[in-house]
Amino acid sequence: MAIKVRKLSYGLGASITGVDLRSPLDDATMADVRKAWLDHLVVVFPDQVLTPEQQIAFGKRFGPLDDHQAAPFYRHPEYPEIYLITNHKIGGRPSETKDTGRMWHSDHSFTTRPTMATMLYCREIPSVGGDTMLTNMYMAYESLSDAMKTVLDRLEAVHDVANYHANNPYFRDRDTGQLTEMKKLSPPVAQPVVRVHPETGRKALFVNEGTTTQFVGMTSEESRALLEFLFEHSVRPEFTYRHAWKVNDLLMWDNRCTMHKALADYTHDQPRHMHRLTVLGTPCGRSYEGDTPPR
């Protein structure tokens, strides 16, 4: 089966057509799909009418899937591999994921096994908005000066799920007890600031405004200026792609060399409903024991 790959932006992103993901792909086609994904970092498969079982079967071709034990509150009731990102009420209560992803982040960077690939499948989308932004972290690293690269290559940074949820109005304004539980399930970790991609060998920045709080060995105050520079630098327009969703799009990105953000460019008067799969990555980072100097 010959796939067709069309580049979508300067920085990253391509569409893949000529495949039907309802049926298993042969090994040669899978190799072509994986190459396109590694080359373009983000790929979209448009017009894929998939059941949860079919989405899960395709996801497993890339590796073992996460069952979301680190965030068990939002799993599909029948398929633990599927994480629901929705503004539909659940059990008569407002969804806790309706505003998720509103900060730039890389999935599960706050764990010692960050996500390799994320597959987001669009079931419902507002008539206007609901877009997702993605950025190329290879470019973010490669465009830095050699002196800055030398500094960053030696550093680790702290990633903490509590920082992400402190900026989510649902958790900030309500004491649900779930944030406390998530912090127990995912205590802070130290990750390399520059990550070497295990398949391509290229270096990518690995910090994000959602979960990165400081550099290891520095206070948050000492870290702030450099982190803010890196956060802003990483999302320069030429590094980014904005995906305007259509129902039955399956979007897949490489968390090892990208970040993403769900835009607040719509209201919840219309539904936005997504099924997300995440493919487990290789171990990366270490538990963080709070080894910063006293303030």
The amino acid sitting at 96 is: E
Give the closest residue to 117 by CA, choosing from 7, 280, 8, 242: 280
Residue 276: active-site member: yes
Of 40, 105, 243, 275, which is the active-site residue?
105
How many CB atoms lie under 10 A from the CB of residue 22? 14
The amino acid sitting at 127 is: S
Give the closest residue to 69 by CA, choosing from 280, 268, 245, 290: 280
Got the DSSP string for 177-223?
Answer: SHHHHHHHHS--EEEESEEE-TTT--EEE---TTTEEEETTS-HHHH
Residue 275: active-site member: no
Distance CA 146, CA 93 (A): 51
Distance CA 157, CA 115 (A): 17
Of 66, 107, 160, 249, which is the active-site residue?
107
Degrees to nearest 5, angle at CA 16 with 204 and 242:
55
Of 40, 159, 275, 276, which is the active-site residue?
276
Residue 272: active-site member: no
Tokens of 89: 């009420």
Place of tokens 């539904």: 271
Distance CA 162, CA 168 (A): 10
Residue 27: active-site member: no
Q: Which residues contact residue 86 at a Cβ distance below 8 angstroms, ignoring those fewer than 6 apart?
A: 95, 97, 98, 271, 272, 273, 274
Of 260, 272, 273, 275, which is the active-site residue?
260
How many CB atoms lie under 10 A from the CB of residue 285? 22
Active-site residue set:
105, 107, 260, 276
